[in-house]
Amino acid sequence: MGAAQEKGRKAYARQLDLLHGRVDLTHGSGGRAMVQLIHELFARHLGNEYLAQGDDGAVLPAPVMAGARGRLVMSTDCHVVSPLFFPGGDIGSLAVHGTINDVAVMGATPLYLAAGFILEEGFALQDLDRIVASMANAARAAGVPVVTGDTKVVERGKGDGLFITTTGVGVLPEGLQLAGRLARPGDAVLLSGSIGDHGVAIMSQRENLRFDAPIASDTAALHGLVAAMLATKAQIRCLRDPTRGGLAATLNEIAAQSDVGMMLQEQAIPVKPVVAAACELLGLDPLCVANEGKLVAICAGADAPRLLAAMRAHPLGRDAAEIGEVVADVHRFVQLTTAFGGRRIVDWLTGEQLPRIC
Amino acid sequence: MKYLDEFRDGALAQLLARKIAATAEPGRAYRFMEFCGGHTHAISRYGLADLLPPELRMVHGPGCPVCVLPIGRVDMAIALASTPGVILCTYGDTLRVPASGGKSLLKAKAGNGDRCSDIRMVYSTLDALQIAREQPQREVVFFAIGFETTTPPTALAIRQAQKEKLANFSVLCCHVLTPAAMRTILAAPEAEQGGGVALHGFIGPAHVSTVIGSRPYEFVAADYHKPVVIAGFEPLDVMQAILMLLRQVNTGRAEVENEFVRAVSREGNLKAQACMAEVFELRDEFEWRGLGVVPHSALKLRAAYAAFDAERRFDVAYRSVPDQPACECGAILRGLKRPQACRLFGTVCTPENPVGSCMVSSEGACAAHYSYGRYKDRH
Amino acid sequence: MCLALPVEVIALGADAMATVNLGGVKKEISLALLDDVQIGDYVILHVGYALSKLDPEEAAATLALFAEMQAGGFAAP
């Protein structure tokens, strides 16, 4: 055991009981208990040279872009998912992937993450340990370290176990601009893979809905896929990840920002059969169900084949598909041709998507 | 998914569309009511109207139990939910129905600062019974809505509660009956007048019919000389049923036919019917949103099961609350007006801010049109 | 008229409960409203209960009816 660790051990009367211990108000008070929590739990998993500096802020090198100056992209995301653990992931991996993706779909290379934790008094340290380990694994696998963070504790009943906020920063090469307002008639609409996986994985865990289905969340960091797509030099107008509200919300957002309409082909939209079945049982529309490892790309129509090939060559884009096109429409409707040949609108999700009996 | 995918086949849909087009007599107008909200939803969701000839119009009926639930009944549920100690269990559909004073079950769940109600969404009465077992110190009330498809499960739950002596379980019974509603539509004076709103036939509900059988619809043919074709739930079923209705109308027949032969018989599910009859009896009358007060159209718990009747256990009484004056849900539910004819449609009344229940339920004519079909209004 | 689905019975349990499968999703439901349900039968499921059994022969006959090539409608009643 190293000298620093010896010193650490003597500073605390007892090690944290990660098996049976619970968060209490002292862990957020700024005193010794909080420092111990950070050392023995957070830093143990997330440890890197920046976090180890142990100061109020992380000092980071200025981003270097090959040749010309780049710009910074920053994004933040709050995570309140319940349940905290679900097939395919947990709130920790979700928090890391979600913010990496928000930075990546701007066309930027994600560089660093910050993480804030609001813990409810009584939260099991075992669960916290598991979640932070999961975050660390996700961050390491993605190559994007958590360089600074904060923890607060709220009284029992004032927080749903754990809330995590992550902020990410990345760098965007000069000349690259992806934005929701840039779609134009004639553009192709591409989707990186099957929709509905995450939302259904979550709903299958919820209290009052008892069924076990082999559906896992698709939570994943998409910056590698994005890099492969940008490398094709295809004319990409916009990338976006369809999280809450599903594909329907994302496409309606882009249509509104760009002042266009869209025409989709229902049969081209990939949905895993088991997800489709779960949605049938719950009375949900897969188009409105959340995803955490997919992206939508709007590109010049002529570039679609090339871009699609690059997506399919990447592990996270194997099931990528061209699902429709952008059209001129003053009403900005996103429409869809059903498998029947009939037409209908794909509207925004209304309120919370509730399973229905009718 | 077996027995689903085959009944949604696009190629067969095109074939059926051609048959329908060939069978519809040119220049003759046809108005068929699909009674069931599930059929309304299927028609909108698959864009079926695009596959039908222009002179054939589907009129949406009141077969959506959420849509016909009057404000006063939702008020009762909200009152029960805010009674200390009560856990109100409900299907997801009712949560956003607007009640008196801008309230809804969803808003009651969220609370208003000092107090919120314990309202739990359940998928089945089985879940509500389980909550009652797990929380013996709380009163668990199940908000029972639905037509005859949903009634037998409620009956079973009450019988089960009695068997287990679950003293903390009760039901707010708002179950309604399909044939009574159909009779109200047929008997309405407006239906007999001209103005293009006369109905030439009905598409009968799929799943209600698995329970009650095809026999209860025979009065439609016998007393009102209109054909009824019971259709399965999938879009191809609906199209085949439309074809069968066309053939009847063209040849002047008025019979009850069954397209949903794979699940519906003339007698229905006798065990389920017996279960309902054991636990429930007819209310003298019941107010329906849009249809007004209809005699012998709804159910209440029999005296033998009084212990499980939330209306008797708690101090809640039904108070009739009028609809918003400009709300046209009534006329729309009876198939007399289309959603677009309502002044509030799409402006004040939207799925985010529903004024009337036709907009709340995704099966309601207004919600279906808004969510799937309103692009047609703009062209 | 409400959301109901054809599901396959894959296991029978106590108290009239059963496990059913729809496209890979499994659920526990009640068979209390039906008699004589066997493994392999398809039932119509609504709010956690099976309401009726599905007749495979009638289902096949219905599909065949859809696919009939002649437009029909002109035969005598």
Domain regions of chain B by residue span: 1-326, 329-372
Instruction: Write the burial class of residue A124 (CB in 10 Å: 0-12 exposed, 13-18 middle, 19+ buried).
Output: middle
Q: Which of the residues B372, B376, B378, B379 would you substitute to probe the A interface, choosing the one with the greatest number of A C-beta atoms within 10 Å?
A: B372
Contact criterion met (CB below 8 Å) for B204 and B35: yes
Provide DSSP, B150-188.
THHHHHHHHHHHHHTT-TTEEEEEEEB-HHHHHHHHHH-
| d(CA A272, nearest CA chain C) in Å | 10
Residues of chain B with pLDDT under 50: 192-196
Using an 8 Å CB-CB cutoff, list chain C residues near B236: 66
Which secondary-structure segment (H or E) carries B339? none
Q: Range with the lowest mean pLDDT among A29-43, A213-227, B47-61? A: A29-43
CB B238 within 8 A of CB B42: yes
| Gap from A213 CA to chain B (nearest CA, Å) | 15
Residue B330's pLDDT is 80
Asked if B2 and C30 come within 8 Å (Cβ–Cβ), the reply is no
Contact yes or no for A213 and C1 at CB 8 A:
no
Q: Which among A280, A335, A354 has CB closest to B375?
A: A335
Q: Do C26 and A212 touch (CB under 8 A)?
A: yes
**Interface contact C66-B65, CB threshold 8 A:** no
- Assess whether pLDDT exceeds 90 at residue A11: no
A329 pLDDT tier (thresholds 50, 70, 90) = very high
Does ipTM surpass 0.90 in this model?
no
* A180-345: CATH topology: Phosphoribosyl-aminoimidazole Synthetase; Chain A, domain 2 (3.90.650)
Least confident of A26-30, A86-90, A303-307, C71-75: C71-75
Prior bond of A273 cis (ω within 30°):
no
Binary contact (A345, B373; C-beta < 8 A): yes
- Please report, for chain C, the start and end positions of each structural domain, with discontinuous segments joined by +: 5-67
Residue (of A166, A294, A147) closest to A220 by Cα position: A294
Q: Which residue of chain B has the CA closest to C35? A: B271
* Highest mean pLDDT out of A17-21, A283-287, B169-173: B169-173
pLDDT in tens, B168-216: 999 999 999 999 999 988 887 655 444 435 889 999 999 999 999 999 9
Chain B residues in contact with C67 (beta carbon < 8 A): 12, 15
Residue in B289, B287, B298 with CA at minimum distance from that of residue B333: B289
The predicted-structure confidence for B297-324, as pLDDT tens digits, reads as follows 999 999 999 999 999 999 899 999 988 8
φ/ψ of residue B67, rounded to 5: -65, -30
> A322: part of which helix (H) or strand (E)?
strand A321-327
Residues B1-326, CATH architecture: 3-Layer(aba) Sandwich (3.40)
Contact A358 B363 (CB under 8 A): yes
CA distances B36 to A213, B240, B358, B359, Å, are 30, 16, 13, 16
Inter-chain residue contact A274 with C47, CB threshold 8 Å: no
> Of C58, C69, C77, which is closest to B262 when you measure between CB atoms?
C58
Domain boundaries defined on chain A:
12-58+68-172, 180-345
Q: Which residues of C touch B2 (CB under 8 A)?
A: 6, 8, 42
Question: CATH 3.90.1150.10: does it fit domain C5-67?
Answer: no
* Residue B371 to residue B367: CA distance in whole angstroms: 6
Q: Which class is A12-58+68-172 in CATH? A: alpha beta
User: Would you say residue A12 has pLDDT above 90?
Assistant: no
Residues whose CB falls within 8 Å of the CB of residue A315, separated by 6 or more in sequence, listed in order: none
- The answer to whether residue A357 scores a pLDDT higher than 80 is no
The three-state DSSP-derived secondary structure of A124-190 is EHHHHHHHHHHHHHHHHHHCCCEEEEEEEEECCCCCCCEEEEEEEEEEECCCCCCCHHHCCCCCEEE
A partners (3+ CB pairs within 8 A) are B, C
